[in-house]
Structures are given as structure tokens and as C-alpha cells.
Amino acid sequence: METFGRITSFLSDFIYTWMLIPLLLGLGLYFTIKIKAGQITNIGHANRLITAKPKDEKSISPFKAFTISAASHIGTGNVVGVAAAISVGGPGAVFWMWITALIGGASAFVENTLGQIFKEKNEDGTFKGGPAFYINKTMKKPALANLFSVIICIVYGFMFNAMQSNTIASGFANSFNTRSWIIGLIIIILTGFVIFGGLQRISDITSLIVPVMAVAYLALVLFILITNITKVPHMFNLIFSEAFNMRAGFGGLFGTAILNGVKRGLFSNEAGMGAVPNASSVADVSHPAKQGLIQALGVYLDTILICSATAFVIIISGEGIYLNPDLQGLEITQAALANEIGPWAQHFLTICVLMFAFSSIIGNYYYGENNIKAMDLGNKGLTVYRILVLMFVFLGSIGDFSIVWNTGDVFMGIMAVINLIILMIVGKCAVASYYDYKKQLNEGKDPVFNPRNIKELHPYLDEITAWDDPETNINNRI
């Protein structure tokens, strides 16, 4: 088992260092240039789009689709991963986390716009879509699409959910001295209630949990910043000054801290990785670029707000905490909060982690469900998948899944590399859709998608099926 752990650790480091980091940053920068930083300049506009209503009552609104994806990527990585990055790379690592997020927003826009373009309509009027769909429809490689779907189901449905339930169980065991198996049973009962209720129940639950947990966590951090207002200028000075010194440069950008930061950051905001489009594609919008911009906003909510909130508390608490060799990950954040607001902070953080982790379980599950549908495994296949998810959630609550974490990293890296290569090939479709959207917007219109008006989509018109309805009236246009 120890040998297997070393192998997965080596493979993980190799994939992330030599393949994923260059692809993520390079492609993110490329798309940022192609859409003229539209993922940043349209933040205000995207914020208004998120409240739009769906055309059909049975459809999922942009906001609910947004919360399903946010439920997955706003998770324990926002608490544990940030602490680990700062402990290795110092406060300067936060600056590079921001830069990576700003660039990654462009990749998020592209992949989620593609997911919308090539989505399919279900019999009940809802939608399904994601990388497996746009891989199959643009590349004509069903085997590659199915491989992607299988990886999604294994990594998100099983591995990551086992790790999330392990985080919940260990947190309660440490804070409230509760038996892990009891917590495991409670988690699978709650999870089963949600996932067996279908997409509508999933979206209803995530649209409730995500805003509550985000507001509660940010409110606590805001309170800490206000009560330590005199330390805030020094905090920002540390972030910017150490971003370019030797420790941040090699420990934060080029070395182990950026490696750890990108791995945990990818686990957190998932920009360009091919996970989020599985949720965002269900949204009912009039133009694919709308949901693309909304999902770029999700990257900033995750990294610029939630991750930064954790970072601010840790940095304000001082080097005595984040450079303490006896503290790791969650313990650093717990110690930082306790240092600022007292011992009760450990219990508050446990509740926050519970909400973060449980919402991640729901979001992760749905990524897999969407890919079960992509593989046309039917209701029996979906039921088997749901039972396996619950089994892994329970096992995660009572077992040690450190090796699973490294294995999940390897598979997640492979999945992300596949998606990023596809984005390199067909990303031009999303870029062209962006300019079609902006053109209509500048003309004072509420943009409506017509693939016949976008020449980059002409080779794929037969594969764009979800938009052929009387309301958009595509078939009657030239």
C-alpha cells in the first residue's frame, strides 16, 4: 500500500507540474486575450444575469444551476487547501491564487458556454450536457467521451465524496466526540433523501445551502477584519510584497506551494477542469454565453471571496500560527479563528465545514448522475450509481482515505488534461458565441442564440439540438 501511495504521489506531481499547470495557465491566458478579458469586464453584467427566470417552470434557472456547481467547488478546499498553501508559500501565495483565478475565469467561460451549446433536452423538459456531450458531438469520439464520463463518476461520485464525508466525520469526532459511524449513517440518510429526489430537489437544496453557508462564513471573516482593522494594511502589504520575493516565487509560484495551491485550487474552483459544465448545462437560458459568464463569476466567488476570506484570517493571526510545524490544514484555520474570536470558533468552523462538505457531496453526486445519463445507462444504471455513492460516503466516514486523495488527484488531472485539449480545439466556438452575444447586447437586445448566425458552429449544426424550439425559432432563420 505504501508503494502504491508513492506511485500515485509521483504521477500526481508529474501530471500537475509538467502538464496541467502549463495548460491551465496558458490556455486561460489565451482565452483571456481572445475574449478581451470579458470574464472580468462583465462581472457586473453576470451578477445581473444570475437572477433570470427560466422559460419553462420545469426547467432549472441560471441561479439554481449555478448553486449546484458552487455546491461542489465551494468545499473543504476553501478551508484546508488555502491554509496549506500559505503555510508553505507564505502570504505571497495568495496573490498568485488571485491571478490564477482571474485567468481561469476565461477557461470557465469557454467550457460552460460549450456545455450550453451542445446540451440535450430530456423528456421532462430539463436539460443535460457537459464535456462528454461536446467531446462526442465535436470530435466524434464516443469512446473518449465515455472515458471522461467514467472518470467523473469515479472521482466525484466515489473518491471525492468519500473524502468529504471523512472530513465531516473527523470534524465532529474532534469537536463533539461523536462516533464516526453514527455521523456516517446521518450523512447517507440526508444524502439519500436529496439525490433520490432528482434534479429539482438537488437544485432546491443547493440553492438554499450555498447562499447560507457563504454568507455566514463571509460575515464571520468580515467581523474579524473589522475588529482587527489596524492589521489589514499590513496583511495586504504581506500579500503583495511576498508575492515577488524568493520564498513566494519558488515556494508559492514555481515550487511546492504553487503545485499544492493549483491542485487544491483546481479541486476548489474547478475552472477548465471539465466538471462544472455538468451542472451549468442544465440551466435554461436564451444564449449559451449567459451561463458562461455566470459560471466565470463562480470562480471568483470561490477563490476571490471564500478562499481569500480564509487566507485573511490566517495571515492576520500571524506567523506563529501559519508557520507552526505542529499545525496542518484544517488545524491552521481552526487555530487562526480561535486566536481571533475564542475557542468556540472550532465548533463554528466544524459547522461550516459540515455545510461545505455536505453541499460538495450533493454537487459531486450530480456531476456523476449527468454522466450516467451521457452514457445512456438508464434508470437501473442511475440507481446502482446512487447506491454506490451512498456506500462510499459511509465508508469515507469511518476509514482513512489519504491514499484515495492522491489517486483522485491523478484521475482528476487526467480528466482536466483531456478537457483542456478539447478546449484548445473547439474553444473557438465559445469565443465566437461570446462576440455574437456582445453584438446583440450592444444593439439593445436580450441576446437569443441562433447557431446559424455563427460560422464557427456551422460544421456542428446537426449536433446542436436543444435550441430548436418555437420560442427561439431557429429553424425559420437564415
387: CATH: 1.20.1740
- The answer to whether residue 1 sits within a structural domain is no
CB 157, CB 367: distance < 8 Å: yes
Q: Any bridge partners for residue 283, and if so which?
A: 60
- The answer to whether residue 468 sits within a structural domain is no
Segments forming the whole domain that contains residue 380 = 9-461
- The answer to whether residue 314 sits within a structural domain is yes
Q: What is the tens place of the pLDDT at every residue in 343-370?
A: 777 777 778 778 888 888 888 898 898 8
Please give the helix or strand (H or E) that residue 254 lies within, else none. none
pTM score of the predicted model: 0.87
- The answer to whether residue 4 sits within a structural domain is no
- The answer to whether residue 2 sits within a structural domain is no
- The answer to whether residue 438 sits within a structural domain is yes
Please give the helix or strand (H or E) that residue 120 lies within, else none. strand 120-121
Rounded-to-integer distance, Cα 183 and Cα 450, Å: 50
Quick one: what percent of the chain has pLDDT higher than 90? 26
pLDDT for the residue 471: 47
Q: What is the tens place of the pLDDT at every residue in 443-458?
A: 998 899 999 999 999 9
Strands (E), 225-351: none
Among 83-87, 235-239, 287-291, 431-435, whose mean pLDDT is lowest?
83-87
Rounded-to-integer distance, Cα 355 and Cα 332, Å: 19
Per the structure, the count of domains in the chain is 1
Task: Copy the grid coordinates of residue 446.
Answer: 436580450
How many Cβ atoms sit within 10 Å of the Cβ of residue 316? 21
Q: What is the tens place of the pLDDT at every residue in 214-259?
A: 888 888 889 989 989 999 999 998 888 877 764 444 444 445 555 5
- The answer to whether residue 473 sits within a structural domain is no
- The answer to whether residue 109 sits within a structural domain is yes
- Arithmetic mean of pLDDT over the chain: 82
